[in-house]
Amino acid sequence: MRMRQWAAVAMVMALGWAGAQTCGGTEGLPVGVKPGVFRGTVGGLPVALHLNPAGESGYFYERRNLDLWLEVRRSGATLILEEMVRRALAEPAVVTGCFALTPTAGGLQGTWRAPGKAALAVRLTRADLSKVPLNLPSSPGLLALRAEDPLAFLKLNRAWVKSADGRSVREPLSRLTYPRLPGASAGLNAALQDRQLKHAAAALACRAALPEDLQITEGYDFGAAVTLQGARLVSVQESVSYYCGGAYPDAYTEGLILDRATGQPVPVSAIWPTLTPARQKVLHLKALNSRLDPECLEVLQSAGPSFTAHLTATGLALTPSGLPHVVAACAETATLPYATLRAEANMASVYAQSLYAR
């Protein structure tokens, strides 16, 4: 997920929490309670909880796998966690539960109470996620997710569903599908898995940020396709459109160029050294100039030279990135034929050799 989307999610939650402190207490952790990840039960139902005063705290019921956000507070030696939910887009968030917890030798215990309801017993044990078995192949993205977003890790660290032909894998919770290449190297498989992890985590975060009245109709729509399979290179184009309860929906395209053996990203400059962002802008405008409307032409001429790139059977595809939302429709893709770029290729590069030997 792009950082602007995480910021939008955070903004939505901040707006929802504004002025609501009905669980009592004051901001901050009580003495004796340390941040971390906990697993246990609320009223007998399994939950996982991340206590993170420096960022977003939250928890989920393991049968629902939908994060509920928490504000961390204290009352004397008692940890107060205020749970709030937005019922509808046009309405402020409401308090749906209050935790009152005290530390134990191995975790936390106490109660959770919904407004007007009887208290439910809470028993939580501190969890060491480094000891949780990996149910997916180990990859840099999976290990980073375990360290940086433990609740997403616990939800996504489960068996995924491979298609019968081995050309795609579906993540069950987000329902996102991502392409695979039969017989691919371990490095390439890890890179493709990590891209899917990134988008699956974003989809789950988007769903959790939505008001309840929009969780069925809105969210994170994703697609990815392999656009080139070569001896040394693989390229993928990703398309994302999403609405997570912020000011407006958004969408973007992202291209990947990967080393087929290692799965590592290959920059455009490794194939065409002179194709700097400024040079890409010149060629992109030249390729599209005749079919751009005047307003988009003006936007792209004044915009910074920022592009995402992927490879196709016929050439290098460049798509403007980072355009403001109001002019995002001007981000039209231009494909520069390999033949016209040959003079700029570094023919000493194995990547260029593999493209031009096709």
Query: Tens digit of pLDDT for each residue in 77-89?
Result: 999 999 999 888 8
Nearest to 55 by CA among 155, 140, 149, 142: 149
DSSP-derived 3-state class of residue 207: helix
Nearest to 220 by CA among 244, 254, 192, 194: 244
**Beta-strand runs (E) in the chain:** 26-27, 36-42, 45-51, 57-61, 68-75, 78-85, 94-103, 107-113, 120-126, 161-162, 168-170, 177-179, 220-229, 233-242, 250-259, 307-311, 315-320, 334-337
Full-model pTM? 0.91
pLDDT digits (tens, 9 = 90+) for 295-312: 999 999 998 889 999 999
The pLDDT confidence band at residue 248, using thresholds 50, 70 and 90, is confident
pLDDT digits (tens, 9 = 90+) for 8-24: 344 334 434 344 458 99
Nearest to 8 by CA among 202, 199, 213: 202
Q: Is 314:335 a contact under the CB 8 Å cutoff?
A: yes
Q: What is the pLDDT of residue 53?
A: 82
Residue 141 is inside which H or E element, if any? helix 140-148
pLDDT digits (tens, 9 = 90+) for 260-290: 999 999 999 999 999 999 999 999 999 998 7
Report phi then psi at 62, rounded to 5: -70, -15
The distance in angstroms from the start CA to the end CA of the chain is 34
Q: Is 69:79 a contact under the CB 8 Å cutoff?
A: no
Residue 40 above 90 pLDDT? Answer: yes
Which residue type does 279 have? R
Write the DSSP assignment of 147-174 as a string of letters. Answer: HH-HHHHHHH-S--EE-TTSSEEE-TTT
What share of the chain has pLDDT > 90, as a percent? 80
Which residue type does 72 have? V
Which 8-state DSSP code applies to residue 277? H
Write 111-114 long-range contacts (CB < 8 A, 24+): 112/42, 112/43, 112/83
